[in-house]
Amino acid sequence: MATVAEIPDPRVRTELWRPLSRAGSRYWIAVTLCAVIVAAGLAAWGYQIAKGLGIAGYRRPVFWAFYEADFVFWIGISHAGTLISAILRLTHAGWRKPVTRAAEAITVFALMIGAILPLIHLGRVWLFYWLIPYPNTRLLWPNFRSPLLWDLTAIFTYLIASSLYLYLPLIPDLAQLATRSRGWQRNLYRLLALKWVGSDRQWHALERAMKLMAAIVLAIAVSVHTVVAWDFAMAIVPMWHSTIFGPYFVVGAIFSGIAALVIVMASLRRFLHLESYLRPLHFDNLGKLLLLMSLLWIYFTVAEHLTIWYGKQPAEYSVFESRIYGDFAPYFWSMVILNFVVPFMLLSIRRLRSIRTVTICAVTVLIGMWIERFLIVVNALSRPRLASAWGAYSPTWVEITITAASFVTMTLLYLLFARLFPVIAVWEYEDVAHG
Amino acid sequence: MDQQDTKPHRWGMAIDLDRCTGCEACVAACHAENNLPLSTPDSAAKGRAFHWIRIDRYYEGAFPDIKVKFMPVLCQQCDEAPCEPVCPVYATYHNAEGLNVQVYNRCVGTRYCANNCPYSVRFFNWFEPVWPEPLTLQLNPDVFVRPVGVMEKCTFCSQRIKRAELEAKQESRSLRDGEVQPACVQSCPAEAMVFGDLNDPASRVSRLAQSGRATRFMEDLGTQPKVFYLKRGE
């Protein structure tokens, strides 16, 4: 693309490597602040392990709440990398170059966070390994009929695949960095670069591996969020037991994934001064993708709720009722505004589509999608079939701290990543042997 | 797989709703028998009270012309129990006598079973249970005290079933109908509850289950409960 070829090689290297060698005091303040909040989250978790889940706001019948909503949210965010970068890579979209690595890193970090949340939600986390199929003297195996087992399998597959997918395109950059840096960083880069010298054979192998991984990761990503949806849809809980939950969740995941990517890109552009790489064009294109996903999301949301309303099955309708004009209506309608009304108005009018508006929409979408997960989990559970068991849930400081810490963990991991690795693939700007 | 053919018992219960007065003697008896964690006004307000059996109230008509109907609800010991397949560690499963059992030691606390139970009869140990003195002295030594982080629910008083079976075995005889009585059945002053073997066609519970007054709760979900509710046709 003309937009990227304009920047000469040496300038690319200087600009993209600059964050790796220098970090101002503002950076370290940010890292410290993040670390403190993450530590607070871990402390809250420790307290919860010591005292019992009761210090969180759970109650019968709301046996799942914040942690499960957070879990679905973070697994959803992880779709940023794979789907955006894999689709764009497979379709040879030239504008993807400065976007892909930022996205792939989100995937890996979001999955790490997402994979921890089910542990936080366990009543007896110290026995979590009973969920893993390992040979043992008691000949006890986990129950493969349980969607939670499918979930565990899917998420670990995805974590491994997406880590590889982030790592592969990093290799040429790592080899270059190894020649440039000193001390422990040099050793780290050299170790990770796997003796990359940039021979034709190596380039060829890398290209093939990346293409293959893109295809594999794409398939896994779709299946992972379908399986996450099945954690709910396989249950006979009213408003969970829905056949469209699989695709509905995948759409929601890609939607929130793009939003997360936009926010990360806007921050990188601002703080790392990457204005000449992350250009209005990229935000414009991602804005269009965000708009498309917003339309798909509202389509699924309407399809899901219209059928419930029309059918008026008592068990489902009582959940529907509380969602549309009952206790949960404020959440539902703010979700619709944040996920559809705002993005639709700001993104469908070309004149209004700018870096600022796309970023604003990304923020509203992230909030809206978190509310969506909260509604799916808590709203449905608070109205079980028997009215005698109905109950209202409200979180305590424990869930709130841990949820906040999950967001800050993302920030912290990204801060460290951007300090150690170039957030944009440098080699993709150089007309060397690749391609 | 065919253990049910070799094991003769298939435990079931019949509850006569026309007899139930809603006195909650069954609830109190269950608490005492099964070492249920203390349920206080505070824990009830927080939605954390434990009642393996509870009395649901249904109001018909409008004040002052109101009629209250009581319905004792306990684990329905479903043959097709929705709680069972969703447990990732087989902590809840079907035993040879058709009971839906909860293995406390195996439970890791995903709480999925409780979400998937349409009868909302499962309870989670949010905290390590504590009993103020001297209540610890009345804990039933035959029943496990559940630790923090595990799910629990009605067992049909499996400890009483076990004890009766062992006694019968020692005396080389088969169990008599009515010999096993869960605490709730034993304590019901209105004699609204009957417990027994559904595989024995002559047992009281079998005959009541066959009666025209018998229905099963939320049968349309296909859960195949083993608790039968008896009530007059309207």
pLDDT greater than 60 at residue B66: yes
Whether B232 contacts B213, CB under 8 Å: yes
Q: Report all structural domains of chain B as residue ranges with CATH numbers, in order of start.
A: 3-230 (3.30.70.20)
Check if B149 contacts A (Cβ < 8 Å).
Answer: yes
For tokens 């004792």, name the residue.
B72
**pLDDT tens sequence across A232-274:** 999 999 999 999 999 999 999 999 999 999 999 999 999 888 8
State residue A359 phi and psi, 5-degree precision.
Answer: -65, -40
Query: Mind listing the pLDDT tens digit for each residue in A89-100?
Result: 888 887 888 888
- The pLDDT score that the predictor gives to residue A384 is 96
Task: Test A235 with B115 for CB contact under 8 angstroms.
Answer: yes
Cβ-in-10-Å burial (0-12, 13-18, 19+) of B82 comes to buried
Interface contact B82-A236, CB threshold 8 A: yes
Q: Specify the higher pLDDT residue, B35 or B233.
A: B35
Q: Report whether the peptide linkage leading into residue A247 is cis, meaning its omega lies within 30 degrees of zero.
A: no
Q: Using H for helix, E for strand and C for coil, what is the string for A161-219? A: HHHHHHHHHHHHHHHHHHHHCCHHHHHHHHHHCCCCCCCHHHHHHHHHHHHHHHHHHHH
**Single pTM value for the model:** 0.94
Q: Which residues of A touch B115 (CB under 8 A)?
A: 61, 63-64, 235, 237, 381
DSSP-derived pairing of the beta strands B11-16 and B227-230? parallel
Give yes or no for a contact between B144 and B112, defined as CB atoms under 8 angstroms apart.
no
Q: What's the pLDDT score for residue A264? A: 94
B108 and A121: CB-CB below 8 Å?
A: no
Tell me how far apart the alpha carbons of residues A81 and A100 are, in angstroms, rounded to a whole number.
Answer: 7
Over range A286-309, report the average pLDDT.
96
For helices A66-77 and A397-420, angle between their N-to-C axes, nearest 10 degrees:
20
3-state helix, strand, coil in chain A (%, to 5): 75, 0, 25
Interface test with chain A among B70, B76, B111, B116, by most A beta carbons within 10 Å: B111
| pLDDT of amino acid A7 | 62
The mean per-residue pLDDT over the stretch A364-372 comes to: 97
Closest CA to A409 of A417, A420, A397: A417
**Would you state the pLDDT for residue B1?**
40
User: In this predicted model, what pLDDT tens digit does every residue of A370-408 receive, in sequence order?
Assistant: 999 999 999 999 999 999 999 999 999 999 999 999 999
Closest by CA to A391, choosing from A38, A6, A61, A32, is A61
Report how far residue B198's alpha carbon sits from residue B11's, in angstroms, rounded to the nearest whole number. Answer: 6
Asked if A236 lies within 8 A of B221 by C-beta distance, the reply is yes
Residue A325: its H or E element: none
Q: What is the pLDDT of residue B7?
A: 54
Would the pLDDT of A351 be above 80?
Answer: yes
Predicted ipTM of the assembly: 0.92
Distance CA B100, CA B79 (A): 8
Q: What is the rounded distance in angstroms from the CA atom of residue A64 to the CA atom of residue B124?
A: 12
Nearest Cα to Cα of residue A355 among A248, A250, A275, A412:
A275
Residues of chain B in contact with residue A60, where contact means CB-CB under 8 angstroms, are: 47-48, 114, 120, 123-124
What's the rounded mean pLDDT across residues A33-40?
97
**B108 interfacial to chain A (CB closer than 8 Å):** yes
Give pLDDT, residue A294: 97
Query: With b meaning 16 or more CB within 10 Å and e meaning fewer, what string describes A196-217?
Result: beeeeebbeebeeebeebbebb
On the question of pLDDT at B15 being above 60, the answer is yes
Q: Which of B12, B39, B42 is nearest to B24 (CA)?
A: B39
